[in-house]
A and B are shown apart, each in its own frame.
Chain A
């Protein structure tokens, strides 16, 4: 029985090669583990990455402690991280340096083989402070400068989501969470990063 399925698989592969002639080996990224806050939780990975092995570890309301709680999980894995929008709301300005340090340490402690990081996206949800965009920009800058010295790939889509110094509402429906167009931007940027 197994031999029969192996033969079918071989036959299909030959057909594919004959039709497509685009044989490629594994791109080295293997399965993708996405971890983060509601941005990740709401990302319909099956739709945007239909041929990938994907795992969604997104959690509503999660902050950097969610990443810290997964220390060591990334051995031999490719991890995509998007976190921080829930932390930035109440973080005092004088704690930004300390937070950026903690943030990058948490990422490094994942011990991932490949680690791809999205910035904290701009937001303009109801109840957000007037200086929210400045706060996010400042923290992103600090995280980015620390990440540059590591193996982490920083996928800088921040400016795409920014319009007139606010969140571009073409990509969100409530000023915080993304719509399908927003997820398309993230997915395409990630695919581009993976070559």
Chain B
């Protein structure tokens, strides 16, 4: 019991710190831990969950600044750099994202991703799409993207759903190749959970 109380007492200050912490999963294979400042800045550490040996796992550091220009328009810029433990490749770049709420139920999204990979070299990638509300907690997503899901720049359509309930966002997406066999579709899963304050 004593130990239990000590753990609770030690944990209490972290509840305050955790008010702007989030955990997330990107594209099935990447786990994220991040921290948001109210000023619009955030920092994220991402780690891969590949079915590979540990030395081939990938770790990435991301910083982000988000700015709302008006109620309808916001921008964000996210520089990042990542590397595998055994240094068999590294990549870095910047992801610039814009979101425009055209109607209460319709959001237009666009991204530019200036991306460098140590093997595939430099590539300019982009994404454009819409998000349309189906009901209060659910939206339909339709995107065209060339931003790498892994390392390779690929042309893909993405069709999926986004559920937002309090601090939790969950997004299952089907990723369909444009110039390859349709058999190479991928079922992708993403989620984000904010501890404390309602951020979603």
Residues of A within 8 A of B (CB): 5, 8-9, 12-13, 15-17, 19-20, 22-27, 31, 41-42, 44, 46-47, 50-54, 177, 191
Within 8 A of A (CB), among B124-152: 149-152
Q: Which of B29, B54, B149, B151 has the most CB of A within 10 A?
A: B151
Residue of A22, A41, A51 touching B50 (CB-CB under 8 A): A51
Say whether B90 contacts A51, CB under 8 Å.
no
Which residues from A are CB-within-8-Å of B61? 8, 12
Say whether A46 contacts B85, CB under 8 Å.
no
Which residues from B are CB-within-8-Å of A20? 54-55, 57, 85
What interface size band does chain B fall in? 20 to 34
Within 8 A of A (CB), among B66-123: 81-90, 92, 119-120
Say whether A53 contacts B151, CB under 8 Å.
yes
Q: Is B59 an interface residue (CB 8 A)?
A: yes
Say whether B186 contacts A51, CB under 8 Å.
no
Q: Which of A16, A44, A52, A54 has the most CB of B within 10 A?
A: A16
Known: A12-B59, A12-B81, A50-B150. A44 touches B184 (CB 8 A): yes
Say whether A51 contacts B83, CB under 8 Å.
no
Say whether B81 contacts A24, CB under 8 Å.
no
A99 to B144, CA, bound (A): 45
